[in-house]
Chain A
Amino acid sequence: MILVNAPLKRDYIKSLIDQQTIEGITFSFEKQEGMKLYFNHDGDKVLAQSIVKKTIKSSEFGTALFFNVEIV
Chain B
Amino acid sequence: MSGFVAFLEEKFVPIAAKIGGQKHLLAIRDAFAGLMPLVLVGSMAVLLNNVFFVPWSLLAGFIGGEHPFIVWANTNLAPLFSIMDSGTLSILALGLVFSVGYNRAMYEKQDALSTSLINVAAFILLGALSRNNPDVASWVGNFLAAQGIFVALIVGLITPEIYFWVVRKNWVIKMPDSVPPAVSRGFSAVIPGFIAVFVWALVAYLFNVLAGASIFTWFETTIAGSLMSLGQNIFSIVLVSTLIPLLWFFGLHGANMLEAFMSPVYGTLGLMNIELYKNGITTVGSGANELAVWVRGSWDAYVFAGGSGATIALIIAILVASKRKQDREIAKLALPPGIFMINEPILFGLPVVLNPIYFIPFILVQPVLTLVAYFATVAGIAGPIVNSVPWTTPPVLNAFLATNGSIGAAFISLINIVIAFFIFLPFVYIANKQKD
Judging by beta carbons under 8 Å apart, are B253 and A66 in contact?
yes
Size band of the B side of the interface? 20 to 34
Q: Which of B8, B26, B353 has the most CB of A within 10 A?
A: B353
Give residues in A with beta carbon < 8 Å to B.
Answer: 5-9, 34-35, 60-68
- Give which listed residue, A60, A63, A66, contacts B248 with CB less than 8 A: A66
CA gap between A8 and B372 in the complex, in Å: 33
Measured CB to CB, the nearest residue on chain B to A11 is B9
Given A7-B251, A8-B252, A66-B248, A61:B353 Cβ within 8 A: no
9 contacts between A and B (CB under 8 A): A5-B344, A5-B353, A6-B251, A9-B13, A35-B251, A61-B13, A63-B17, A66-B353, A68-B344
Q: How far is the CB of B13 from chain A (nearest CB, A)?
A: 5
For B351, the chain A residues whose CB sits under 8 A away are 5, 34-35
- Give which listed residue, B250, B254, B256, B348, contacts A5 with CB less than 8 A: B348
CA gap between A62 and B17 in the complex, in Å: 7
For B9, the chain A residues whose CB sits under 8 A away are 8-9
Q: How far is the CB of B304 from chain A (nearest CB, A)?
A: 15
For A67, the chain B residues whose CB sits under 8 A away are 251
Given A8-B13, A9-B13, A65:B348 Cβ within 8 A: no
CA gap between A63 and B21 in the complex, in Å: 6
For B20, the chain A residues whose CB sits under 8 A away are 63-64
Give residues in B with beta carbon < 8 Å to A.
Answer: 5, 8-9, 13-14, 16-17, 19-21, 26, 247-248, 250-254, 256-257, 344, 348, 351, 353-354
Judging by beta carbons under 8 Å apart, are B353 and A64 in contact?
no
Judging by beta carbons under 8 Å apart, are B5 and A64 in contact?
no
- Give which listed residue, A7, A9, A60, A62, contacts B353 with CB less than 8 A: A7
For A5, the chain B residues whose CB sits under 8 A away are 344, 348, 351, 353
7 nearest A-B pairs in the assembled complex, by CB-CB distance: A7-B251, A63-B20, A64-B16, A5-B348, A64-B17, A8-B251, A63-B21
Measured CB to CB, the nearest residue on chain B to A7 is B251
CA gap between A51 and B373 in the complex, in Å: 41
Q: How far is the CB of B310 from chain A (nearest CB, A)?
A: 17
CA gap between A60 and B20 in the complex, in Å: 10
CA gap between A62 and B253 in the complex, in Å: 9
- Give which listed residue, B248, B256, B348, contacts A64 with CB less than 8 A: B256
Judging by beta carbons under 8 Å apart, are A7 and B354 in contact?
yes
Q: How far is the CB of B16 from chain A (nearest CB, A)?
A: 4
Judging by beta carbons under 8 Å apart, are A63 and B256 in contact?
yes
For A68, the chain B residues whose CB sits under 8 A away are 344, 348
For A9, the chain B residues whose CB sits under 8 A away are 9, 13
For A60, the chain B residues whose CB sits under 8 A away are 17, 21
Q: Which of A60, A61, A63 has the most CB of B within 10 A?
A: A63
